[in-house]
Amino acid sequence: MNAHEDVPTLKLVLLGESSVGKTALVHRFTTNKFDSNTTNTIGAAFITKLYHSQLKPERRIKFEIWDTAGQERYRSLTPMYYRNAKVALVCVDLSNFEDSFKTAKFWIEQLEINNSGNNSDNDSNDKLIVRLVGNKSDLFAKLSDEEKSDITFKINQFTDSTGIIYNQTSAFDGTGLTELFDEIVDGIDDKIFIEYYEQKSKTTTENQIGSILDARMNGQSTSSYTCC
C-alpha cells in the first residue's frame, strides 16, 4: 500500500500490565520484526500503519495505534489515550498469567464504563470494540499441560461471560497477528467505508467546482477542467 494513500482511519489502543508485550506486538505488526530490546513505554507511544485484510484486500485502513504504558503510575493518563478509540486490545502475558489477567480485567471494566457513558445506543459505529489478547503464545506452549489447561479454562470462562473476543498471539514469531488484524478490518461496518468514500468524492467535486469558478472570475480558460 502507498504510504500516502488516502483511506479511512481507525484509532486502536493497546492496554495491559507492564511487560505483557504490547510494544513488541506493535513493533512486530508494523515492521514484521521482533525487537528483544524494547523498553517500557512512558505515557504512550503513537504509530500508524496502512493495512488491508488478506481476505478482503479492498478493505484498506490506516491504523492510528496508541501503545499505552502498563505501569500503575501512568493509569490516570491512560483514559486520555483511549478516548474516541474504535478498537481496544487488552493484553495479557500467557507466561505470567494471573497478575496480567487481573490488570486486563481492570481495564476492560474501565472501557465498559467509558462505553456506556459516551456512546449512543442508536449508533453502533461509535461503540468501542474490545478484544482480549493473550500474548507470548510461544512461551505458553512450553508450560505444563496442567498450567495450559488452567489458563485456557479461565480465559474461556471470562470470554463466555462477557462476550469478549479472544485472540492468541506471539510478538516473538508473529503467530496470530495477521488473523487478529484481519478480523478487526473485516469486522468494520461497511457503512464506515461507504460514508468515507462518498464524502471524499463530494469534497473532490466541490473542489473542482471551486477551481472552475475561481478561474472564470480571474478570466482564465476553464477548458482543462472537468467536473461531474
Task: Output DSSP code: residue 39.
Answer: -
pLDDT at position 122, please?
Answer: 46
pLDDT on residue 219: 64
First to last CA, the chain: 28
Closest CA to 112 of 95, 140, 133, 90: 90
DSSP per position, 183-214: HHHHTS-HHHHHHHHHHHHHHHHHHHHHHHHH
Residue count of the chain, please give it: 228
Supply the pLDDT for residue 226. 52
Residue 76 φ/ψ, nearest 5 degrees: -65, -20
- Are 155 and 134 a contacting pair, CB within 8 Å? yes
CA-CA distance, 223 to 159, in Å (whole number)?
62
pTM of the model: 0.83
**How far is residue 86's CA from residue 111's CA, in Å, rounded to a whole number?**
11
Res 214: pLDDT: 58
Cell of 115: 462505553
pLDDT (tens, 9 = 90+) of the chain, 228 residues, equals: 565 678 999 999 999 999 999 999 999 999 999 988 888 888 899 999 999 999 889 899 999 999 999 887 788 888 899 999 999 999 999 999 999 999 999 999 999 988 776 655 545 556 899 999 999 999 999 999 999 999 999 999 999 999 999 999 999 999 999 999 999 999 999 898 888 988 887 765 655 555 555 555 666 655 555 554
